[in-house]
Structure 1
Amino acid sequence: MHGIKRKEWTKELLRQKRVQDEKKIFDYRHLTDSVLNLRDEKVYSTDALKKTSELLERNPEFNAIWNYRRDIISNSSSELEVSFWDEELAFVMMQLKHYPKVYWIWNHRLWVLKHYPTNSSMIWQTELAVVNKLLELDARNYHGWHYRRIVVGNIEEITNSSLDKEEFEYTTTKINSNISNYSAWHQRVQIISRMFQKGEIDNQKEYIQTEVSYIINAMFTDAEDQSVWFYIKWFIKNDIVCKTLDKQEYVKMLKELRENILLINNDEIEFSGKQNIWCLKMLLVLEDILEENGAFTEKNSEAYLVQLMDADPLRKNRYQSLLKNHR
């Protein structure tokens, strides 16, 4: 780190560190052998559970031990008080705080919740609040977002009600906080699709126009962020848009997006003297769609591809290949 003097490793310090590392490795291997032997012997005692805790604290990616831990709990689940399950959730949370992207921890927490003695919406509502906290710490943790969908699904199933509108607003909050949050954009895709399929939107055309305005605002906020452009490409090609709007409305929407993208690209040129790669790529997509709908007369695809060769030289061969196909 800057401004901090690097530790000087003398021969003696290196020897001491090597001895400590060797001891840690020896202890870990000894503990691993001990727990695996208990598992093979089908020992489901409290002591065995404690040993799995010790091992998982050292290595939370040891999925076989998570499986063994569940076997231990299942073997005595009828005798366990609610306090045990709360302690188990607390144990898992400690692991998540240190290792928020380990699948097996998330999987075990979900298993605990599904086997919690009182399967009511309250426990899942509490879990949703927990996920909110975790996503505040790391808003782009896709494990957390996937887990959130599962939690919300359980709440909806128990309460027999939809949380789509609330979850849509949640994605808006997260995107407004950080436009680069690809996980939030991805979540938005799923929620919008579901809301249209379930008929949860009263005025669908107005809803689409509102979303177009939101997209345009996002483009102007950060035209370099790929998350926005991936979302736009999904949006303009999706059936919920193509089938909701008539042809004239659809073409008008595409032209509105195109005009704003051209404006953004021109601003980029004036500011930095360079073309915006994402703008050029999206202009190509829009031209193809407009041409398919018989609404485009002046094609600039070849010019855009030539500009992309200069702006994005790493993919020059790809653009050359596309250029041949356009001629």
Structure 2
Amino acid sequence: MQHEVERINLTKEQQELKYEKDQPKIKYYRELTDYLLQSKKEHIYDEENFKLTTTLLNLNPEFYTIWNYRREILTNLYNNFNSNEDEKTKLTSIINDDLKLLMSLLKRFPKVYWIWNHRKWCLFKLVELNSVNWEFEFKTINKMLELDQRNFHGWHYRRFIIENLEEQAIKEEKINEIQAQLKILKLNLDEFDYTTSKIQTDFSNFSAWHNRTKLIPRILNLVKVTNTDNELFKNPLNILHNDLEMIKTGIYMSPEDNSVWLYLYWLLTDPIFVNSFQSKENYIKLLEEQISLIREVNDLEIEDSGHDNIGCLKSLIYIKAVLNNSLQKDNTIDEEIKESLVKLIELDELRKGKYNDQLNGIVPIL
């Protein structure tokens, strides 16, 4: 199985028959490619070639040169839309048709960068035409992430839409800056809740965890600027303890999942949280609590599988090093870190060179 698609092993005779059958398609693809590349070189911008780019991109949506040519055709065909209302209307219709085409392509190829890139270009064209609908686009990406909630392209695009909804709020409330900031705060709080729901559905959703790291600093700042009464975001430590409690479930359920651990590292080391502790002792106590939790989870894994968990060992090493650094210990590696590195050398064959270098002090742990 490859990407949940079952591989079919063809016999030599079947391969030859398939090759013969595919020859006309291959010939057409090559001829169409040669023709459009030559047309691009000769700066031929007409509606016929525009239609042919649609044909070729349906065959190969990763052909970024043809996406570029498609944009050149649109730009050159309708470069006078500002002074011509009919041209403006026509271009708006064509761009909206392109958005429909892109949606059909994304359903088939949701992780092709060039499709997402062209969609952004289309939206900015609609901005120029005063015809963009960011709310509709937001609903669209919602539906797309329902189909594949871990697609990092989709999450990146979602942040792009939110940024533009924020810009729209500023324009709408250009006289009342605080009102604009309150709208932006609500957008970000809603996004925060969205990441929570996605994480609770799937603790392995790295994109949701990552999005959270972008949202939390922004929300904390917006709450402060707008003087909003929000208990969770009143103090960074409230968020820290809230998310440590949430992430605990993920650690117990999926200790082998790197997404959960990476978010834990961020929570324990980002200055937003570290600098919010009233005393160094309180911070050290929290680190020690997390180390105890990891030891407990690892013990459960040993009972279940008969060996240490790689994720637990790596995190134990990392957080132990953060703790030692906070205690201002010298650079010597303590016994627990040494023991964990020795275990990792046996358990994680692929990275044993790195662990050996850390054990010998060649590569720092932090």
Q: Is TM (by shorter chain) over 0.5?
A: yes
Return the offset for 1:198.
4.3
C-alpha distance in 1, partners of 2:211/2:147?
Answer: 18
Amino acid at match of 2:130: T
Structure 1 position 244 matched with structure 2 position 276: yes
Structure 1 position 195 matched with structure 2 position 196: no
Partner of 1:36: 37
Partner of 1:166: 190
Cα deviations by residue, 1:200-244 (Å, 9 ceiling, x for unpaired): 532322222111111222211211111111111122111111111
In structure 2, the CA distance between the partners of 1:312 and 1:14, relative to structure 1 (3 Å rule), is closer
C-alpha distance in 2, partners of 1:125/1:137?
Answer: 19
Per the alignment, in what secondary structure is the counterpart of residue 344 of structure 2? helix
Partner of 1:144: 154
CA RMSD of aligned residues (A): 2.6
In structure 2, the CA distance between the partners of 1:119 and 1:231, relative to structure 1 (3 Å rule), is same
C-alpha distance in 2, partners of 1:235/1:15?
Answer: 57
C-alpha distance in 2, partners of 1:271/1:190?
Answer: 36
C-alpha distance in 2, partners of 1:272/1:234?
Answer: 29
Per the alignment, in what secondary structure is the counterpart of residue 291 of structure 2? helix
Return the offset for 1:124.
1.1
C-alpha distance in 2, partners of 1:14/1:310?
Answer: 43
Amino acid at match of 2:154: G
- TM-score by length of structure 2 reads 0.79
In structure 2, the CA distance between the partners of 1:26 and 1:307, relative to structure 1 (3 Å rule), is closer
Return the offset for 1:119.
4.3
C-alpha distance in 1, partners of 2:41/2:12?
Answer: 45
Amino acid at match of 1:321: D
Partner of 1:318: 354
C-alpha distance in 2, partners of 1:41/1:31?
Answer: 15
Partner of 1:135: 145
C-alpha distance in 2, partners of 1:319/1:22?
Answer: 51
Of residues 41-50 and 219-228 in structure 1, the stretch that sits farther from structure 2 once superposed is 41-50
Of residues 306-315 and 26-35 in structure 1, the stretch that sits farther from structure 2 once superposed is 306-315
The correspondence for 2:265, drawn from 227, 233, 237, is: 233
Amino acid at match of 2:343: Q
Contact residue 150 and residue 206 of structure 2 kept, 8 A? yes
Structure 1 position 219 matched with structure 2 position 251: yes
Contact residue 85 and residue 112 of structure 1 kept, 8 A? yes
Per the alignment, in what secondary structure is the counterpart of residue 115 of structure 1? helix
- TM-score by length of structure 1 reads 0.88
Of residues 35-44 and 146-155 in structure 1, the stretch that sits farther from structure 2 once superposed is 35-44
Partner of 2:20: 19
C-alpha distance in 1, partners of 2:139/2:283?
Answer: 39
Partner of 1:204: 236
Q: What percent identity do the matched residue pairs reach?
A: 38
Amino acid at match of 2:240: I
Q: Which runs of 5+ in 2 are unaligned?
A: 82-86, 171-182, 225-232
C-alpha distance in 2, partners of 1:33/1:292?
Answer: 61
In structure 2, the CA distance between the partners of 1:14 and 1:221, relative to structure 1 (3 Å rule), is closer
